[in-house]
Amino acid sequence: IKTCILQGRGRRSRRIKEESKMMKFFIFTLLTAYVVCNNPEEGDMIEGDMELDPDQMSAYMEQMEKAGNTFAAIKSNLWLTNGKADTIKYYIDPQISGATNAINQAINDYQRYTCIRFSKQSGRPRGPHIFFTTGSGCSSPVGRGRSGNSIRLARGCWRKGTIIHEIGHSIGLFHEQSRPDRDNYVTIKLHNVVDRARFNFNKMRSDQWDSKGTPYDYDSVMHYGSYFFSKNRQMTIVTKNSRDQSRIGSRSGFSETDKVQINKMYCSGGSGSGGNGGSTCADKDSRCRHWTNYCRSNSYVKTNCRKTCRIC
């Protein structure tokens, strides 16, 4: 009987130890996933997922010293030759072949809604190109790099909207909430932000930002979400109008204003319809001038009063 009791106790002890190990592993896995998803900083990154090359980082640090806490003035290189948009070559690392479908969807949206064109390569090319590869988070350089841009995509980043966002950085876009006029639209709750991540919420000066005449865009694929970098599960970005809160942080795809801004950066015109981006900017309804207060809230007005609403 004693032998059976001792054997039973031994089995329970081993089972408890195994369960304890499993629980520790589970907790470690959760914490690791949290760090990857909520702290994707890798290398020299600004605003969480934007990498800067040494020249850009030097300019950033110089501007930070001159401007205190103001976000740096960094002029990103656009993918242009003689004022015309380049065809952007890209190559997908075989290590992330599982992301191919999402990458293709993102690129298809760029080619459908903007004048930017992409060319898939069978091997990694020389010179400027985009290299989709693995990483511990989601990150991208800002603007065109001399020898190629590595967009790093951990498994949790294999979604169309996230990849559209990262490509956005590579073509020269910063985060929407860095706009100099952001305080008119959102309130940044710095006391809820992880201390070492507060710089992510600095804003640019008006001489450092070119929105191409587009209005502040809650729906932008480049906008942070409500709880980004929160240290206490409280919101870090609060919209001035509570009705707009659910709009920020979208990663489903382009907003209409995203399309217009990209086309103004890379095309002769600013339509969001793709192609050559050169269609005429005009209202489709003669009553648009009476509806200026509805430019942000009414989908009909946003679609049919693009000139009045300054979307094109």
Residues annotated within the binding site for Zn(2+) are: 165, 169, 175
Cβ neighbors of 288 (< 8 A, separation 6 or more) are: 301, 304, 305, 307, 308, 309
- The residue to which tokens 């009909």 are assigned: 300
Binding residues: 165, 169, 175
In angstroms, rounded to a whole number, what is the distance separating the alpha carbons of residues 175 and 221? Answer: 9
Element (H, E) at 136: none
Provide the strand spans (E) within the chain.
45-46, 50-51, 80-81, 84-85, 87-92, 117-120, 130-133, 138-141, 149-153, 186-188, 237-239
- The residue to which tokens 């710095």 are assigned: 190
Q: Which of 41, 47, 166, 176 is catalytic?
A: 166
Q: How many CB atoms lie within 10 A of CB 13?
A: 10
Does the annotation count 166 as an active-site position?
Answer: yes
Q: In 3D, which of 186, 179, 189, 187 has the Cα closest to residue 236?
A: 189
Regarding beta strands 237-239 and 186-188, do their DSSP bridges make them parallel or antiparallel, or are they unpaired?
antiparallel
Annotated active-site positions, please? 166
